[in-house]
Amino acid sequence: MRKGSITVVGTGHLVAGQVTPEALVSMKTAKKLFYLVGDPATAHWVETLNPTAETLANSFSVGRNRMESYSEIVERVIKTVRMGLRVTLAFYGHPGVFVDPSHEVVRRARAEGFDAKMLPGISAEDCLFADLGVDPGQDGCQSYEATDFLLRRRKFDPRTPLILWQVGCIGVATYCTKDIWSRAGLRLLTKVLRNTYPAEHQVVIYEAPEYPVCQPMMETVLLSKLPKARVSIISTLFVPPREFARTDRKMLARLSHRAD
């Protein structure tokens, strides 16, 4: 291995409250710490951990394609790794969930012969499971990024819970500072879902809390009312099953027989 390394970590979704001890040690002991988080309080906390801390938020600007920003982030980090430093890269939430540059940094670093690893963190999905009382072990779970869900015409089972991410920025490739980036995209998503679910089907708009004193945002609305609901770019849509899947009695008998 060449000298220099990269460790990618997550800070969770609460200021300092959901970071793992493993990730915390990595941030504190890094020779260079980069970070990209979602709120000023977490940014301030990260700055107190390591004097080398440097934000990556300045790689974004209004109207700039986000893929260009992601590429710039990767180059900034890899350049520092090439200098022979032990680098830590911190993202909010889980560093491997809906974070394109984190995976690319690890791939690039390994391809160039550097030690690279990603540490698990607490994602918005973990928070959703806890706050909404959803157990994917009971009825399964389908999870898609909302734009991808539409573009690829994903096949899904209405008898299984459906989770759609980033419903506030459907179809938008450029960076923006508004709360919701595409109301038209939300209307289109609703239209597609209405092909499978009735208008009165209840869905939940969910946002994980950012501060310990705050409660999660969990607003239940009728599917027909979704296009006008309060949605932001950090909102996740939880669609409960239209009906529950029935047990295959013949399969149950076969499994019981095999168990004997």
Catalytic residue among 2, 35, 64, 66: 66
Q: Is 70 an active-site residue?
A: yes
Sheet with 54-55: strands ordered across = 54-55, 32-36, 86-91, 5-10, 115-118
Catalytic residue among 35, 70, 197, 206: 70
Calculate Rg over the CA atoms of the chain.
21
Which residues, in sequence order, are CB contacts of 57 under 8 Å at separation 6+? 36, 43
Q: Is 92 an active-site residue?
A: yes
Query: Rounded distance, CA 218 to CA 172, Å?
Result: 24
Q: Is 66 an active-site residue?
A: yes
| The pair of three-digit structure tokens given for residue 9, joined into one six-digit string | 């970590």
| The pair of three-digit structure tokens given for residue 36, joined into one six-digit string | 């990209």
Catalytic residue among 35, 86, 92, 108: 92
112 conformational bin, left if phi > 0, alpha if psi -120 to 50, beta if neither: alpha
Q: Are the CB atoms for 165 and 236 separated by under 8 Å?
A: yes
Query: Rounded distance, CA 77 to CA 105, Å?
Result: 7
| The pair of three-digit structure tokens given for residue 207, joined into one six-digit string | 């946002």
Q: Are the CB atoms for 68 and 173 separated by under 8 Å?
A: no
Q: What residues act catalytically? A: 66, 70, 92
